[in-house]
Structures are given as C-alpha cells and as structure tokens.
Amino acid sequence: MRVIAGHLKGRKLETPEWEGLRPTSDRLRETLFNVLAPVIEGARVIDGYAGTGAVGIEALSRGAAHVTFIEQDMRAVRLIETNLARCGVRERYAIIRAGFAGAAQRLAGEQANVIFLDPPYGPAALSDALDSASALASPATIVVIEHARRDAAPDSAGALVRTRELTSGDSALAFYRCRA
C-alpha cells in the first residue's frame, strides 16, 4: 500500500500482519479521492473503522485540514500511529480508540465535511455504521461507506440518502448526503 497523491505521494504504508483487517485497496482509494477531489482541500475528515489509516492519511496528503481516525482494535491503532510516523505526519489528526457508534456519540455536534466508513462486511454492520454516521452529518457532509458489492447499500439511513454508488472488483463505495 502507498499514498497515491498529494505531498505524501509514494510513501509506503505498513499493512496488518493479522487476519480480519481488510485495507482499502489503492485502486478503490484512488476512485474515492477522484470523487472527493473538489471538497477535500481544507476538509475535516472522519475515518471510521480506520484500520491502517490509509484513507485518512491520503486525505491529509491531499490537503485535508484535520482527520479523526476512529478504530477499536489496539493493534490497528498502533498501525495507524506507525503509518503516520512513517509519513512524517505530526499534527492535524486525532486518534480515538473506540467503536464507531460510541465515538460518534462523543463527537456529536462537531463539524465534519467527509465521513468515510469501512465497517466489517455484512448488511448488519453496514446499517449500524450508517445509522451512527447519520447523527454526525450536516447538510454539508458527504458520508461514504465501503461495502461488499454483494451487500446492497441502504437507500437511506436516518437523515442520509444515497446519492451515488461506484463498484470496483468485490467492493463498492456508496455516497450519502443529508436530505434536503
């Protein structure tokens, strides 16, 4: 894995040495940031289910003002810290070690321009993640969830409504905005 673009372009990121963590592929991250390009500069980003931190680090590389990494697994938190250090990132981020739902409750009321979610694959985790993100979203927020192509993304969750979906291999990205 590597940082694809921005001032950290080409930096290699460490990958997990244990089963159960599924990093977002370089190709899917490139697709994601091609869509987010108009809004990422200066954005406040939440990287939920952060895993390796690759999505949040990519956002920082492309000019995001701040990234909040949310990850429950302590091994993954250490991996995020390692990847940030490898890239020389010392500021403009926070790491919250918690499940996404609990972290979302604590962050309620804070502004986020982009919320990226990569929960474990499966319809139940997908719905739970979107429900929790709905509480953090404002009319200016874009919520993106990575999911298995075989699991249909909900049309809506709380105030969020799906506006776009892109597929790449076995994965898909569903984009949501608040109802008008």
Among 7-21, 28-42, 69-83, 125-139, name the one with the lowest average pLDDT.
7-21
Beta bridge partners of residue 71, listed in sequence order: 97
pLDDT at 125: 86
* Tokens representing residue 123 in the block: 């319809």
CATH (residue range 26-178): 3.40.50.150
Rounded to 10°, the helix 54-61/26-40 angle is 40
pLDDT at 55 over 90: yes
Higher-scoring residue by pLDDT: 114, 122: 114
Kindly report the number of other CB atoms within 10 A of residue 9's CB atom. Answer: 12
Q: Is 33 helix (H, G, I), strand (E, B) or coil?
A: helix
Rounded Cα–Cα distance for residues 83 and 51 (Å): 11
